[in-house]
Amino acid sequence: MTFDTLQERLDYRFKDASWLRQALTHRSYGQPNNERLEFLGDSVVNHVVALALFSRFPDLREGDLSRLRAQLVCQDALHGIAASLELGTVLRLGEGEQKSGGAERPSILSDALEALFAAVYLDGGFDAAKTVIDYLFKSHLASLDPNTSLKDPKTRLQEWLQARRKQLPKYRLVETLGEAHAQQFDVECTIDGGLQTRGLGSSRRAAEQQAALLAMETLEKHAG
């Protein structure tokens, strides 16, 4: 992918392309890199998402809004957006980082996305950054339901089973995939009665949550 294609996917064209290059430059590549932009971008994306949640859920308390924001602006969520943009294909990495799979590492991709948000902010101002972030987070915001999103999938699944006097789920690590710097965990969730689901994640906890979410969706579909 080219820088032009990335700008098309963002629906934003940089007036000063040096901001874009810096946002996509890892410290292993040289200077100027995206570390300072990442710091700024973290604040920008949290601000924009906070505004969106504040407007979308006028009756939610501060603590609930904070928990929803933490779900939306976490490494896994940012990594997912970065991967959907294919950000790894345009990252500038040092030779060693490139060979070790840095272009696929969740931490590097999520940091680069935050740096990209900062670059848009510095190039076009807050309104431009807000437009880009709102666009990229649109589907995530639309799918939020405070009645369920404020509880993680494992908690929801446990409460659902307990309410029906069923045995609690069992989680088993099936396999650890990938190199140490970019591992993926494959976890199986088994529920009494034969239901089994599998989840993948950059941590064992994330994989368990994914497996629990799939189990919860299956149970609710059959119950409904």
CB 28 within 8 Å of CB 96: yes
Active site residue 95: no
CB 140 within 8 Å of CB 55: no
Q: Which residues of 148-180 are buried (b: 16+ CB within 10 A; e: fewer)?
A: ebbebbbebbbebbeeeeeeebebeeeeeeeee
Rounded CA-CA distance 40/60 in Å is: 27
Looking at 97, 114, 186, 188, which residue is catalytic? 114
Active site residue 104: no
Rounded CA-CA distance 32/23 in Å is: 9
What tokens does 172 get?
């088993």
Looking at 42, 97, 186, 208, which residue is catalytic? 42
Residue 106: is it exposed, middle or buried by C-beta count within 10 angstroms (0-12/13-18/19+)? buried
CB 182 within 8 Å of CB 159: no
CB 49 within 8 Å of CB 73: yes
Residue 111 annotated as binding? yes
CB 171 within 8 Å of CB 211: yes
Residue 95 annotated as binding? no
Q: Which residues are annotated as a binding site for Mg(2+)?
A: 38, 111, 114
Catalytic residue numbers read 42, 114
Q: Which residues are annotated as a binding site?
A: 38, 111, 114
